[in-house]
């Protein structure tokens, strides 16, 4: 497991990347290791409302919040692995963090 740190924010398991404009995504707030606040963004539509050719994504982005600074990371998923079991890109997906307490990181 690799973790991003302030002195090395983008290891080989992560890509520093802003999610860009999107709508129809799911955003969740979570606490990592009981203290660090983070924002998780899942999926959505990258094109403008009413587009005749919508571009959907299942990208997963995490915003790590330290003090007043947020660093965004695009996480690698099964979609990034050859022959990975990649879920269908979508908008308006539902997701929930369960068991997100100070003693555990919970599950998506």
Dist. CA 4–CA 107, nearest whole Å: 19
The DSSP letter of residue 59 is E
CA 41 vs CA 3, 25, 58, 74, 83: distances in Å = 18, 7, 9, 9, 24
pLDDT at residue 66 tops 60 = yes
Residue length of the chain: 108
Identity of the highest mean pLDDT range in 44-53, 68-77, 95-104: 44-53
Whether the per-residue pLDDT at 13 is higher than 60: the answer is: no
pLDDT exceeds cutoff 80 at 39: yes
Q: How many CA atoms lie within 13 A of 54 on its CB side?
A: 13
pLDDT bin (cut points 50, 70, 90) of residue 77 is confident
Cα separation, 24 vs 61, whole angstroms: 14
As a whole-number percent, the residues of the chain with pLDDT over 90 amount to 6
Report pTM: 0.69
Name which residue leads in pLDDT, 89 or 35.
89
């Amino acid at each position: 497991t690799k973790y991003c740190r302030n002195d090395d924010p983008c290891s080989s398991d992560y890509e520093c990347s802003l999610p860009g404009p999107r709508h129809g995504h799911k955003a969740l707030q979570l606490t990592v290791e009981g203290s660090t606040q983070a924002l998780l963004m899942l999926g959505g539509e990258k094109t403008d409302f009413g587009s005749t050719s919508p571009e959907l994504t299942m990208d997963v982005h995490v915003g790590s919040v330290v003090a007043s600074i947020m660093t965004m990371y695009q996480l690698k998923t099964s979609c990034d692995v050859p022959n990975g079991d990649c879920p269908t890109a979508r908008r308006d997906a539902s997701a929930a963090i369960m068991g997100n307490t100070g003693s555990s990181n919970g599950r998506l």
